[in-house]
Structure 1
Amino acid sequence: MKKKLHLLIIVTAHLITTVVVAQERLVNKANEQYQDYSFSPAIDIYKRVLEKGYVSADLLKKLGNSYYFNADYDEAAQTYKRLVEEYPADVGPEYYFRYSQTLKTLGNYKDSNDMMAKFMEITTNDMRASAFKDEKDYLDEIRENSGRYDIEQFQYNSPYSDFAPSFYKEGLIFSSDRDTGNLARYRHTWNSKDFLDLYKVDADSISTNTVVKIGEEVNTRLHESTSITTLDGSTLYFTRNNFKDGKYIKDENGVIRLKILSATLSDDGKWTNVNELPFNSDSYSTAHPALSPDEKTLFFASDMPGTLGESDIFRVEINEDGTFGTPENLGKTVNTEARETFPFVTAEEILYFSSDGHPGLGGLDVFATKIKDELFDRSVVNVGGPVNSQMDDFTFIFNEETRKGYFASNRSEGLGADDIYGFLETTPLELDCNQAITGTVRDKISNEVLVGATVKVIDEENKEVSSAITDSEGNYVLSIDCDRGNFVRATMQGYVPSEEYLTKSDGKPRIIDFYLERDRVTAGFGDDLAKLLQLSTIYFDFDKYNIRKDSEIEVEKVIAAMEKYPSLKIKVNSHTDSRGRDSYNLWLSQKRAESTVNYMIAKGISANRLQGEGFGETKLVNGCKNGVRCSAKEHELNRRSEFIIME
């Protein structure tokens, strides 16, 4: 019996070991295909392992990502949900973010916001968290931008994947995995679709109405996609898998990277001189080229060193001799820690791109930002629906002269996996961040409004941008570019200029009132020198008439003025609060006036230039008269001295 039991244990252990080893082999095989971007077979294998009861946080992460990057957001959400619920200690911030994105894509904004809140809890200095904090009402903003486009299906869509339209002559070049002619052996395993090739339509004649594959000089047995041509149609930039001498090249992790290539159109209409761009690499991807209006700058997406997220938008100069400069990241206003990709630049220097890092409706959304003057830190705006949807929306192109354009989406109502849509912009998208600045300019001493004062907007390069003149009520109105830092400066003849610096902002209106100081004191008989010199009030302690230490410096300013102007004569008027008998207050104020005069005489001012008079409680500055309850601070305002200029 013991032998049988022992044998049973051995057999059972062997079977368990065999099953575990088999499961591990399945997982390892799936992991290899995952690293190779072969996500569809990875999904099948991971699912098989899950069905056998073998589960781990790593497996759920990879399966969730496989669904996520194949835009199967329903399955991705279910997988990420299981990851969050079963392995909360192993959920990194990126998985909360992706789970939030999948929920948003499915229209579950409440749970999506909850996951973003979790993401924010465990991240520091992440731009996506900052954007979420700053844009809690981002759906309202997207709704405001929506309804600007009339869209329609592209008549040349197929039941397969059609995307990446680009303007070419009178027509378009686009990417598709419709009949490649390469049979199933060249089927790519990212999403089990055929390899992508470049096609053109209506490019040579408006009446052609046929889709033609670009020649074999460009199209190969791997992926070709996302292209841009120069305005004269002579140079083509396009994306291709890393492919050389008939073989594909993998990086050290076994990943086939993407590269940008160029080609030149020969006189016989064939694409020749197909060359890689010099900043390509076997270690990272460069893809999705776009040109600036002057064709001196190439924009593209990459995960090269210096990338902030999964992929960023970069630019590189194209020199006159055809060489290239050093790629430059567009920075953290455009790029986030997620995906920024598929750039396009219009004639008016508007950069359109797709992102799942900026607040959107779900998946990849199309965003726009103005990059005129090579400034890449202006506001990024979601273009709204119906261009953007809960699914992936990307490869947006636009002709500002005709107000027409195209984009691609994998929304459910399409004909294929991805479809191209045409659109007409009916209302221009507002990209300028204009902030209204209003206010009043006044004299700091008298508080009188200053009519005819000039208020200028000066940028950070110290260049005047705009100006306004105050009206009959001292008011001004200005508008500033709130995507930039600006100085708002008020000036008027006879006054010291005053300014305030405004940082980049959300564009909410601001009120800035200016109180200008006179650049010289011009006084007349009867004026209070305390106001002209902007003295702090000369206060006295309750029931005391000696000058307080904190008031001595103010009296010294009057002495300095009298020393500078030997003919200046001053009458010191002293006042009390209402507490105490009226007769006593009159006596106390007289003593305070005499105390101030004596202090000034002791400091060297001639007695014949000074007078002093006490007014008791007869000239209160507030309503704290006899019988009125007031605070100590309110009573203190009445215990003061004035310095009146005499003839």
Structure 2
Amino acid sequence: MKHRFKFVILLVLIFQGVVQAQERLIEKGNEEFESYSFSPAIDIYKRVLDKGYVSADLLKKLANSYYYNADYKEAAETYKHLVTDYSDDVSVEDYFKYAQSLKSLGDYDSSTQVMNKFIQLTKSDGRASAFNEDRDFMAEIEENSGRYNLGPFEYNSPYSDFAPSFYKEGLIFSSDRDTGNFARYRHTWNAKDFLDLYEVNADSSSIDHVKKLDENINTRYHESTSVVTKDGQTMYFTRNNSVKRKTVKDDKGIVRLKILRAVLTDEGVWGEVEELPFNSDSYSVANPALSPDEKILYFASDMPGTLGGSDLFMVTINEDRSFGTPENLGSNINTEARETFPFVTTEEILYFSSDGHPGLGGLDVFATNIKRKDFSGKVLNVGKPVNSNTDDFTFIFDEELRTGYVASNREEGMGYDDIYSFTETRPLVFDCLQKVNGTVRDKISNEVLIGATIKVIDDNNEELLSTTTDSDGNYTLELDCNKGNFVRALMEGYVPFEEYIGVSDGKPKIIDFYLERENITAGFGDDLSKLLQLSTIYFDFDKYNIRKDSEVEIEKVIAAMEKYPSLKLKVNAHTDSRGTEAYNLWLSDKRAESTVNYMIKEGISKDRLTSEGFGESELLNDCSDGVKCSAAQHDINRRSEFIIVE
């Protein structure tokens, strides 16, 4: 009995020792996990599981480690274990990552079931709202698919190659090939070598040759995701937070990422490497991209104000090379998950990668139109084959050539990540656009106004875009037909006029503007018909009633008298020489009187009008009695005048 008691005590002590060892091992695994060292964390958690110890917390961290390392098969199996055996401890984020992992494996039915559970638990999450909208996202993705011819990138290696950026006639890209680092310099996130920046085909000396950038750019830690200004003089790139070649960790032991700026020296090497002022030791700033005018820098960060794992931000680059305050691009683009790797085309289309917007699995490439810095437009998945059920990212595109590059970790690749070239065969159709065109004219003379400005103003009275009329007084605009806007016409010397266009079905619309002059320069004795450039006021042969085509011209005179209440006119009527002199005098008098009566009928006070007929007494050419003239020559003499008398 005594020996049995000692044996039991020994078993208890051994068990306690095993438990303590497992706890220390888990504690070490948690330290690796919290410091983003997912590869060693996976090794440790698997050792603990193999020894029969399991918990909800361990499964969560192991599944997340697989997820962040893009091992979606192991992630899905581990999340399934968690959901099946520890359902009370499963968070909404666990369900979301589980659904994403299943989608990456092509199991869309199971992914939808898990996503529905996610939606039940979080109604306010933007990802749930997007998934729950009355939109068939898979159908949209399918509609956007087939627009790219995907091809190889001949400079891939058996290692990790990604983050292409346009540079001179070639590319700069990131790779962990030939880093020259020993295993102790491997990155513990995925146990791969640290990344450096390389260039290829940038100039004649490097054609068909991959060349590592100089040591001012590359260190023994991570350098990746770059963008170079069009003049080739300034480069923005991402690097691990380090000082004097030593990494700097935050209070959680995490080495963050920062964006740096370098300038090309006269010797042709990159120098003056400096940190951007909004970097921080406590959060990451990475993946720079430039606007077409290079006045705005876009980037990804998890800085305060971030909605999810990482968000897209923008910051103004001032003329003195300083920076404004970073701004979040908002919840239409950013989700509670990851948005990263921005790229902006010359036509201001923002491409980025996300696992928060509905996609095919893993990170997918999405696009949205950000013209006029409007970030509220529809976000579209660019479809297959650019996107797959694995991670697809670092998309860049030359809109003039319709060619570009994208990186992916899909299985058929040569290395862990590979770059693919592509050609776009059909453009992506973005938000509903409504074509609006028309002509701007002088309201009184009907003369076209060349160089008039047409502005589009939103409901907050902010100008969205503007254009000017051409040599024919015409303009053309494209508006977002999902929003209401004011279209305003302006011209120096004229009163502005605008028309509101509400939400529409996108059908083309014609809006002609007739602007009123602020002032008409005229004096006593001037002929208003010349000032207003009136067309001939015709009467039927041998009649004096106002014809319909003449009413239009007289209405212009009426408009002027309504605008200027003190204006008084004398209407003079003239005939050609055909007919007797007495008859022409009588006919012209009746036509002048008829014109005045028409204007009085239309509301002009009769004390502002007088009339007189001059017959053929004031001919403008030599077509008098007995002189043979053409009909066109006689027409010159048949005229009406509106003489200013006050």
Q: Spell out the pairing of 1:176-325 with structure 2 (5 A cutoff).
A: 176-205=175-204, 208-325=207-324
State whether residues 170 and 206 of structure 1, in contact with CA within 8 Å, keep that contact through their aligned partners in structure 2.
Answer: no
User: Residue 22 and residue 348 in structure 1: after superposition, are their counterparts in 2 closer, same or farther (change >3 A)?
Assistant: same
Q: Distance in 1 between matches of 2:482 and 2:402?
A: 25
Q: How does 1:503-514 map onto structure 2 within 5 Å?
A: none
In the aligned structure 2, how far is the partner of 1:297 from the partner of 1:102?
A: 35
> Displacement of 1:8 after TM fit?
1.7
**Once the two structures are superposed, what CA deviation does each residue of 1:621-644 show, in whole Å capped at 9, x if it has no partner?**
xxxxxxxxxxxxxxxxxxxxxxxx
The answer to whether the 8 A contact 2:170-2:200 is kept is yes
Instruction: For residue 274 of structure 1, give the secondary structure of its aligned residue in structure 2.
Output: strand
Post-superposition CA distance 1:262-311 (Å, at most 9, x none): 11111111111111110000000000000011111100000000001110
Alignment of 1:41-120 (within 5 A): 41-120=40-119
Is 1:391 matched with 2:390?
Answer: yes
Q: Displaced runs of 4+ in structure 1, greater than 4 A?
A: 461-466, 485-488, 497-502, 507-510
State the AA in 2 paired with 1:374.
Answer: K
The sequence identity of aligned pairs, in percent, is 66
- Report the secondary structure of 1:40's partner residue: helix
Change (3 A) 1:153 1:298: same
Cα 1:208–1:85 change in 2 (3 A) is same
The one-letter code of the counterpart of 1:310 is G
Trace 1:572-591 onto structure 2 (pairs within 5 A): none
Task: Say whether the 8 Å CA contact 2:289–2:298 is kept in structure 1.
Answer: yes
Give the drift of 1:480: 6.0
Partners in 1 of 2:87 and 2:484 — Cα distance?
43
Query: CA separation of 1:402/1:61 partners in 2, compared to 1, >3 Å: closer, same or farther?
Result: same
Tell whether 2:159 aligns with 1:160: yes
Equivalents in 2 of 1:398, 1:206: separation in Å?
Answer: 25
Whole-angstrom CA distance in 2 between matches of 1:208 and 1:461: 52
Partners of 1:258 and 1:240 in 2: CA distance: 6
Distance in 1 separating the partners of 2:95 and 2:134:
18
TM-superposed deviation, 1:434: 3.7
SS at 1:159's partner residue? coil
Counterparts of 1:84 and 1:272 in 2: how far apart (Å)?
52
Per the TM alignment, residue 386 of structure 1 is displaced from its structure 2 partner at its CA by 0.6
Residue 135 to residue 354, structure 1, CA distance change in 2 (3 Å): farther
CA spacing shift, 1:373–1:185, aligned 2, 3 Å: same
Taking the aligned partners of 1:245 and 1:296, their CA distance within structure 2 comes to 31
Alpha-carbon distance in 2 for matches of 1:161, 1:484: 44
Q: Is the 8 A contact 1:171 1:206 kept in 2?
A: no
Distance 1:174 1:99 in 2: 32
The separation in 2 between residues aligned to 1:387 and 1:135, in whole angstroms, is: 25
Match runs of 1:557-576 below 5 Å: none
Q: Is the 8 A contact 2:483 2:502 kept in 1?
A: no
Q: CA deviation at 1:413?
A: 0.7
Shift in CA distance, 150/73, structure 1 to aligned 2, threshold 3 Å: same
In the aligned structure 1, how far is the partner of 2:269 from the partner of 2:465?
50
CA apart distance, 1:134 = 1.4
Count of equivalent residues: 469
Task: Output the CA distance in 1 between the equivalents of 2:410 and 2:433.
Answer: 34
**Gaps in structure 1 of 5+ consecutive residues:** 438-456, 467-477, 489-496, 511-647
Task: Give the whole-Å Cα distance in 1 for the aligned partners of 2:486 and 2:381.
Answer: 29
Instruction: Give me the whole-angstrom Cα distance separating, in 1, the residues matched to 2:135 and 2:371.
Output: 28
Q: Secondary structure, in 3 states, of the residue corresponding to 2:204? A: coil
Write the letter of the residue equivalent to 1:46. Answer: Y
SS in 2 for 1:12: helix
- In structure 1, the partner of 2:403 is 404
Letter aligned with residue 182 of structure 1: N
CA distance in 1, matches of 2:41, 2:301: 24
Give the TM-score, by structure 1 length: 0.69
- 1:436 CA displacement: 11
| Alpha-carbon distance between aligned partners in 1 of 2:403 and 2:178, rounded to the nearest angstrom | 29
Which string of whole-angstrom CA distances, capped at 9 and with x for unpartnered residues, describes residues 497-516 of structure 1? Answer: 999964xxxx9789xxxxxx
Counterpart residue identity of residue 374, structure 2: L
Report what 1:469 is aligned to.
none
- Residue-by-residue CA offset, 1:564-608 (whole Å, 9 max, x unaligned): xxxxxxxxxxxxxxxxxxxxxxxxxxxxxxxxxxxxxxxxxxxxx
CA drift of 1:28 comes to 0.8
Q: Per the alignment, in what secondary structure is the counterpart of residue 279 of structure 1?
A: coil
The answer on whether the counterparts of 1:379 and 1:433 sit within 8 Å (CA) in structure 2 is no
Q: Give 1:553's aligned residue.
A: none
Match of 2:636 in 1: none
Counterpart CA distance in 1 for 2:26 and 2:14 is 18
Question: 1:63, 1:204 → 2: CA distance?
Answer: 46
Distance (Å, rounded) in 2 between the aligned partners of 1:158 and 1:359:
31
State the alpha-carbon separation in 2 of the partners of residues 487 and 275 from structure 1.
Answer: 45
Distance 1:142 1:433 in 2: 17
Looking at structure 2, the residues matched to 391 and 332 of structure 1 have their Cα atoms a distance apart, in angstroms, of: 24
Q: What is the distance in 2 between the residues matched to 1:50 and 1:145?
A: 43
Partner of 1:11: 10
1:32-43 correspondence to structure 2 within 5 Å: 32-43=31-42
Report the equivalent of 2:330. 331
Flag structure 2 segments of 5+ consecutive residues without an equivalent. Answer: 437-455, 467-476, 488-497, 508-646
Q: SS in structure 2 opposite 1:152?
A: strand
How big is each residue's C-alpha offset from its partner over 1:86-123, in whole Å with a ceiling of 9 and x where there is no partner?
11111111110000001111111111111111111111
TM superposition shift of 1:485: 4.2
Aligned twin of 1:492: none
AA aligned to 1:280 is N
Q: Within 2, Cα distance between the matches of 1:37 and 1:105?
A: 22
Provide, for residues 514-547 of structure 1, a one-character-per-residue CA deviation record: whole Å limited to 9, x for no partner.
xxxxxxxxxxxxxxxxxxxxxxxxxxxxxxxxxx
Q: Partners in 2 of 1:480 and 1:397 — Cα distance?
A: 26
CA contact (8 A) 2:366 2:380 kept: yes
Aligned-partner residue type, residue 131 of structure 1: A
Q: C-alpha separation between the residues in 1 aligned to 2:139 and 2:432? A: 17
**Counterpart of 1:124?**
123
- Would the aligned equivalents of 2:368 and 2:378 in 1 still touch at CA under 8 Å? yes
SS at match of 1:190: coil
CA offset digits 1:108-151 (Å, max 9, x no partner): 11111111111111113211011101155101000111111111
| Shift in Å, 1:484 | 2.9
Give me the whole-angstrom Cα distance separating, in 1, the residues matched to 2:409 and 2:482.
33
